[in-house]
Chain A
């Protein structure tokens, strides 16, 4: 009988030891709804990171090896679902760490829950600064903040057309407003005329009225958009209505490989990008940009967008913090993240640690990409700005 008890105790200990060697990371994905395209790309980044870590045996930390278990649910691009699901992942699925949903709006909702439970959440696809200025302690932003998005585009425009008349047409969402408000001030500071400025409702599909106003304003440059659904529609209608802009810069949407489906309507359009395969950073940790690009393209049969790269990089940064800590203790991993200052294929990552902006990204920088045609006439996305990072000259004017 004693032997039986000893055997059972041994098996229970073995099972318990095995269970401890899995790290559960929870997040929601917008598998449906207006954020579907961008969110799925981010999800693939998480997924590729998990597959590569697990196939290499797991994360080795503190003498143990941890396999990654991703738990995720469809948030339907809906913040109410996000609130319920992040609670569920923490309470029922016992997630050790969280990744953010896609978009600033959904992330702001998720952050309320993760902070309430004292859980670390690495945010990606969430650039709005406000969420990181609320005294949160366990939130870490991978993306360069929203204020940086159109700064590069305006700097580039200044070299081509210093007196341009700029129209800002953007989605009335937390992210787009956080991008455009500082951009308007910066445009005026650079001496541009802001000829038109209007936000549209997030589910807008008919831009006729707004485009009539843009044309009436005699603007020559259009900047704005929001996410994939509205951005792609806006680009289509700009072309259909022959609104001959010299420069079109849209947020997020043109970064998706799906943008090629727009055909001529997508040509010449620019996108502020958090990362492009051409940006060759010397990685101090993790794969090179080329290796990531190759692995991603092989797995998904499409090139990675910056949302995908951001997803993978979030995993990488968390992995490094766990390795440094030697375990999964929240306070220790948070301490390691606070001290992070590293360059990966994604670029530099460093988080603010002051109480009033804890977790805000301070190390990462952005580039401006443009859809151009290669010699064979095939659409390709090139890095057009800044000059030190460009892979092709910026095409201006596009019409």
Chain B
């Protein structure tokens, strides 16, 4: 196997995680027009949620994804009613400030509790070796989990009444309310799902790399790139765009130093904003 192919496979595996982490941001952005600046902090909380559960139970880390997702949903609902509900429909700056404040509170409390020293989830699955290259079991399992969660979300949004209600509110909130849909309930659930997705991606990342309470910010930045690539409010598009971003990383890393990757990614971010302002998948929202 060539180094370039190995790099591309690594890119796809990590790209699935980028996609999952962007799905939550994309869903919230698309449904309620809120740029959720708590996203990075929620990813970090997902990492620590996995760490605490794994320390307590020491079972297969991927089983522990379920309680992390449930806790993320409940925490998201609480944050929605505390900090977001009051700014829905008001100037976007208010929701930016509100979610940024929540983000700072979480980071502050997290730093006080866990400091900014790195933590590890010491769980390892056997990897797959192809020639001189080995792909770790954790990378493969995390990528599979990300795709499964993304497909489940897609099914939920397109095949269930609640999912359709979320899409209806995203399309036209007033019309949805005229059809008897409670937009407050739908927005609460959508925000909860968005946070649950962020927490899930954080939990998966924690099985791959060491992390601190500040680690979510790197994935938040990638989430913005992925969301802009996919177009706002396209959760499944976000997964595809995440994989594309991972592939891009995999394709260019054999050619240039890894430290140049952020420059290329954010250059792409600007190009997509200028050339495809509605994202490469264009069209309407979730």
Cβ-defined partner of B257 (8 Å) among A198, A229, A240: A198
| Interface membership of A205, Cβ < 8 A | yes
- Which of B173-181, B195-203, B247-255, B272-280 is the contact stretch? B247-255
Q: Is A37 an interface residue (CB 8 A)?
A: yes
* A32-B213 Cα distance, complex, nearest whole Å: 11
* B215→A205 contact, CB < 8 A: yes
In this assembly, does B220 line the interface, its C-beta being within 8 Å of a C-beta of chain A?
no
User: How far does the Cβ of A173 sit from chain B's closest Cβ, in whole Å?
Assistant: 12
Check B133 against A210 for contact (C-beta < 8 Å). no
> Which of B136, B210, B218, B254 contacts A212 (CB under 8 A)?
B254
How far is it, in angstroms, between the C-alpha of A36 and the C-alpha of B118 when the chains are bound? 9
How many interface residues does A have (CB within 8 Å)? Answer: 32
Binds A, one of B3-11, B72-80, B86-94: B3-11
A-B contact count (CB 8 A): 86
Is B129 among interface residues, defined by CB-CB distance under 8 A?
A: yes
Are A210 and B136 interface neighbours, CB within 8 A? no
CB-CB nearest in chain A for B253: A209
User: Once the chains are docked, how many angstroms separate the CA of A76 from the CA of B135?
Assistant: 35
A77 → chain B closest CB, angstroms: 8
Q: A210-B258, A242-B127 are known contacts. Are A205 and B210 too (CB-CB below 8 A)? A: yes
Instruction: Report the separation of the CA atoms of residues A216 and B254 in the bound assembly, to the nearest whole angstrom.
Output: 9
If A205-B215, A240-B127 touch, whether A215 touches B209 (CB-CB below 8 Å) is no
Within the complex, the shortest CB–CB distance from B20 to chain A, in Å, comes to 16
Is the pair B115, A212 in contact by a Cβ cutoff of 8 Å? no
Please give me the residue from chain A that is nearest to B3 by CB atom. Answer: A216
Q: Judge whether B124 is part of the interface by a CB distance below 8 angstroms.
A: yes
Verify if B117 is at the interface (C-beta below 8 Å from A). Answer: yes
Closest-by-CB residue of B relative to A204 is B258
Within 8 A of A (CB), among B130-178: 132-136, 138-139
Q: Name which residue of chain B comes closest to A33, CB basis.
A: B116
On whether the beta carbons of B115 and A32 are closer than 8 Å, the reply is yes
Closest Cβ–Cβ distance, residue B204 to chain A (whole Å): 13
Q: A209-B249, A212-B3 are in contact. Are A240 and B134 (CB under 8 A)?
A: yes
Known contacts A215-B133, A242-B129; decide if A209 and B118 are in contact (CB<8 Å): no
Q: Which residues of B contact A229 (CB under 8 A)?
A: 118, 210
Task: Answer yes or no: A233 CB below 8 A from chain B CBs.
Answer: yes
How close is A80's CB to chain B, nearest CB, in angstroms? 15
- Contact between chains at A37 and B259 (CB < 8 Å): no
Chain A residue at smallest Cβ distance from B262:
A201
B14 at the interface (CB under 8 A from A): yes
Give the chain A neighbours of B138 by CB distance below 8 A: 240
Contact in complex: B136, A240 (CB < 8 Å): yes
Asked if B111 CB lies within 8 Å of chain A CBs, one says: yes
Identify the closest chain B residue to A214 (Cβ): B3
- Report which residue of B127, B135, B249, B258 has the largest number of chain A beta carbons within 10 angstroms of its beta carbon: B258
**Chain A residue, CB-CB nearest to B137:** A240
Contacts of A216 in B (CB 8 A): 2-3, 6, 254
Give A209 to B134 CA distance when docked, in angstroms: 12
B182: shortest Cβ distance to chain A, in Å?
42
Considering the complex, which residues of chain A in the window 47-80 have a beta carbon less than 8 Å from any beta carbon of chain B? 76-77
Set of chain A residues within 8 Å of B133, measured between Cβ atoms? 212, 215, 241
Beyond A198-B258, A233-B209, whether A215 also contacts B117 by CB under 8 A is no
Which residues of B sit under 8 angstroms from A281, Cβ to Cβ? none
Whole-angstrom CA separation of A168 from B218 in the bound complex: 25
Shortest distance from the beta carbon of A75 to any chain B beta carbon, whole Å: 12
B259 near A36 with CB under 8 A, answer no
A233→B10 contact, CB < 8 A: no
List of B residues within 8 angstroms of A33 by Cβ: 116-117
Q: 8 Å CB contacts to B: which residues of A243-278? A: 243
Cβ A36 vs Cβ B117 within 8 A: yes
- Is there an interface contact between B117 and A37, defined as CB atoms closer than 8 Å? yes
* Residue in B3, B210, B257 whose beta carbon sits within 8 Å of that of A215 in the complex: B3
Q: Which A residues are CB-close (under 8 A) to B210?
A: 205, 229, 232-233
Q: CA of A17 to CA of B264 in the docked complex: distance in angstroms? A: 64
B14 touches A208 (CB 8 A): yes
Residues of A within 8 A of B254 (CB): 212-213, 216
Contact present for A241 and B14 (CB under 8 Å) = no
Docked-complex contact A241 and B250, CB < 8 angstroms: no
Also in contact, A240 and B211, with CB within 8 A (given A199-B259, A209-B7, A215-B132): no
CA distance A107 to B208 in the complex (A): 32
A81 interfacial contact with B, CB 8 Å? no
CB distance from B206 to the nearest CB of A (A): 10
Interface centre among A198, A210, A216 (most CB of B within 10 A): A216
* Chain A 12-43 per-residue mask, 1 if CB under 8 angstroms from chain B, else 0: 00000000000000000001111011000000
B208 touches A206 (CB 8 A): yes
**In contact, A172 and B250 (Cβ under 8 angstroms):** no
Which residues of chain B in 226-265 are interfacial with respect to chain A, using CB atoms and an 8 Å cutoff?
Answer: 249-250, 253-254, 257-259, 261
- Provide the bound-state CA to CA distance between A243 and B133, in Å: 8
Please, how many angstroms separate the alpha-carbon atoms of A232 and B124 in the complex? Answer: 16
A32 CB, min distance to chain B CBs, angstroms: 4
Q: Report if A186 contacts B (CB, 8 A).
A: no
- Minimum CB–CB distance from B223 to chain A (whole Å) comes to 16
A-B contact pairs, 29 of them (CB 8 A): A32-B116, A33-B117, A34-B116, A34-B118, A77-B116, A172-B259, A205-B211, A205-B215, A206-B14, A206-B208, A208-B14, A209-B7, A209-B258, A210-B253, A212-B253, A212-B254, A213-B3, A213-B7, A213-B253, A215-B6, A215-B133, A216-B2, A216-B3, A229-B118, A236-B120, A241-B127, A241-B134, A242-B129, A243-B134
Name the 3 nearest CB pairs between A and B, nearest first: A216-B3, A205-B209, A209-B253
Query: Chain A residues in contact with chain B, CB under 8 A?
Result: 31-34, 36-37, 76-77, 172, 198-201, 203-206, 208-210, 212-213, 215-216, 229, 232-233, 236, 240-243
* Given A208-B139, A212-B133, 6 new contacts (CB under 8 A): A205-B209, A205-B210, A212-B6, A215-B132, A216-B6, A243-B134
